[in-house]
Amino acid sequence: MRKLFSTILTLAVCAFSVFSSIQAAEQVPGIPAGSSSARKMKFDPRLAAEYVELLKHQADERKEFYAGRAKASEELHAQHVTQRTDLVATHRKARHRFEEEKHTRNERSGFFKSQRSDMTALEARQKADFLGLDADLEKKLLEFHERQRKERDELTGHLLKSHH
C-alpha cells in the first residue's frame, strides 16, 4: 500500500512539474510552446531576438564578473604566498643567528614561541583578508544578479505588454 501511495505521489509531482514547465514556456515572450494559447499568441520574432540578445549580453557580463572575481582572488593569494615566504625566510635567518649563540632553555622556548605567534598572526590577517574579499565580492555578486534579474523582468514585462 505504501509503495502504491509513493508511486502515485511521485507521478503527481512529475505531472505538476511538467504542467508548470509548460505554463512557464507559454509565458516566455516570443517563444511559442506549442499549446493552443501559445499558437493564438501573435509571434513576433524580433521580440524573441531582443530577449535572446539580452540573455547573451548578460552571459558575457557574468563571464567578465566571474573572471574579475577569480583574478582578485588569485592576486590576493599570490600576495599571501609572498608574505608567508618572506616571513619564513626572516624566521630562518633569525633561527640561524639564534642557534649560533648559547641560550638557556627558556630563551629558546620564548624565541620559537614568538616565531609561531608571528606565523599565527600572519595566518589570521590573511584569513581576514580573504573573508573581507569574499564579503565584498558576495555583496557585488548579489547586486550584479539583482540588476540582471531586473533587466530581464523589465524586458519580459515590456514584451508581454506588446503581445496583449
CB < 8 Å & 24+ apart, contacts of 61-68: 61/144, 61/148, 62/144, 62/148, 65/140, 65/141, 65/144
Higher pLDDT, 27 or 81: 81
| Helix/strand/coil (H/E/C) assignment for every residue in 14-67 | HHHHHHHHHHHHHHCCCCCCCCHHHHHCCCCHHHHHHHHHHHHHHHHHHHHHHH
**Does residue 1 carry a pLDDT above 80?**
no
The tens digit of pLDDT for each residue in 62-80 reads 888 888 888 988 999 999 9
CA–CA separation, 56 and 61 (whole Å): 9
Higher pLDDT, 12 or 107: 107
Give the residue from 54, 56, 61 showing the smallest Cα distance to 152. Answer: 54
What is the reported pTM?
0.53
Let me know: does 125 contact 17? Beta carbons within 8 Å: no
Q: Mapping DSSP to helix (H, G, I), strand (E, B) and coil, where does residue 101 land?
A: coil
